[in-house]
Amino acid sequence: MSKKEQEIQQIVIDPEDRKRRLINWQEIWQYRDLFLFLVWRDIKTRYAQSILGVGWAIIQPVFSMIVFTIVFGNLAKVNSEGVPYSIFSYTALVPWTFFSTSLTSASSSLIGSKNLITKVYFPRLVIPIAPVLGKTIDFGISFLILLGMMLWFGVKPTIWALMVPVFIILMMLTAAGVGMWLTALSIQYRDVRYGADFFVQLLMYASPVIYATSIIPEKYQILYALNPMVGVIEGFRAALLGTRAMPWDLLGVGALMAVAFFLSGALYFRSMEQYFADVA
């Protein structure tokens, strides 16, 4: 056992503690097992005692796709840029569902973990980030369905499909960033938790899920792209469906915003963290 060789670590607690480091990576590394277990608990308990189990990961985007295809594709005849509307909307629904479910579960994560927060110490950042990682499983499953649909419809991906991992990282950064904001706010203001679902629903209309970005007037597109999910969704479409050229401008703005959300979220979270146990 390496205990004896281990350096005795020194911990200093004072009110200025948090100002020293934005994110204490070393500490997060120390608690990596906890992090993995929380992600794993999230996945394992989410579908416990349910009949469909992991099937729920597919149902949400697939059923949304069916409804959207009927309402917006067939009835409202929204332009789907040359591919069947179903795959057009599903390509957006896969990242969108990841984003929206991560946000709603992050915003309730701290309150749900109240028992933990008031009784043991661990890096609090683990709490909003664990659900974001947990949802990647659902994302992976619904992404497989997307690949199946591409085969079925005979849609060929472009060379930019190699960029998909980058989009995924952007999507996760955004979800984690906004998630940290919502989490830190929700522990003090419960309204945030109630409002989060609604806010996320509205946000869908501010993202190109049911329509294409091309219907937004050219001069407003950069403004529109302040929502990082715009770049991500259009990136998915450009890479996998080839419906448009790679939206570098949207992605650039989106990436800047995603990083801004992530950093400001982490900063705000860290500044509020010291109060969590007292106001939870």
Partner 1 sequence: MSKIAIKVESLSKRYRIGFEKQARDTLAEVISDWITSPIRNYRRLRNLTKFEGQEQEIQEVEDIIWALRDISFEIKPGEVIGVIGNNGAGKSTLLKILSRITYPTHGTVTLNGRVSSLLEVGTGFHPELTGRDNVYLNGTILGMTRDEIDRKFDEIVDFSGISKFIDTPVKFYSSGMGVRLAFSVAAHLEPEILLIDEVLSVGDAAFQKKSLGKMEEVSRLGRTVLFVSHNMGAVRSLCSRGLLLESGILTMDDNVDAVINQYLSSKDVSLLGRLNWSEADAPQDQELILFGIEMVSKDGEVKTTFQIDEGFEIRIHYQIVEEIKNLRLYLRFKTTMSETVFATYEDAQIQQGFNRKPGHYTAIAKIPPNILNNMTYRIYLGFDSPGHKVLIPGKEYLEVDIIDTSDGYRYVPGAFDGPIRPVIDWRVNES
The contact set with partner 1 (CB under 8 A) reads: 3, 8-15, 17-18, 31, 33-34, 37-38, 41, 44-45, 48-49, 115-122, 188-189, 272, 274-275, 277-279
Q: Compare residues 123 and 231 and give the one whose CB is closer to partner 1.
A: 123
Least distance to partner 1, CB of residue 104, Å: 20
Q: Compare residues 41 and 156 and give the one whose CB is closer to partner 1.
A: 41
CA distance 236 to 267: 30
Structure tokens at 108: 């309730």
Least distance to partner 1, CB of residue 57, Å: 18
Least distance to partner 1, CB of residue 23, Å: 16
Structure tokens at 28: 């997060």
CA distance 241 to 235: 10
Count how many Cα atoms sit within 13 Å of the Cα of residue 145 in the half-sphere of its side chain. 23
Least distance to partner 1, CB of residue 38, Å: 8
Under 8 Å between Cβ of 150 and 87: yes
Closest CA to 114 of 181, 183, 47, 176: 183
Least distance to partner 1, CB of residue 149, Å: 33
Q: Compare residues 117 and 238 and give the one whose CB is closer to partner 1.
A: 117
Least distance to partner 1, CB of residue 18, Å: 8
Least distance to partner 1, CB of residue 186, Å: 11
Q: Compare residues 97 and 186 and give the one whose CB is closer to partner 1.
A: 186
CA distance 102 to 145: 20
Q: Compare residues 116 and 230 and give the one whose CB is closer to partner 1.
A: 116
Q: Compare residues 38 and 230 and give the one whose CB is closer to partner 1.
A: 38
CA distance 199 to 71: 22
Q: Compare residues 47 and 224 and give the one whose CB is closer to partner 1.
A: 47
Specify burial of residue 176 (Cβ count, 10 A radius: 0-12, 13-18, 19+).
buried
Structure tokens at 241: 């469906």
Distances (CA, A) of 237 to 21, 87, 101, 128, 172: 39, 10, 21, 28, 18
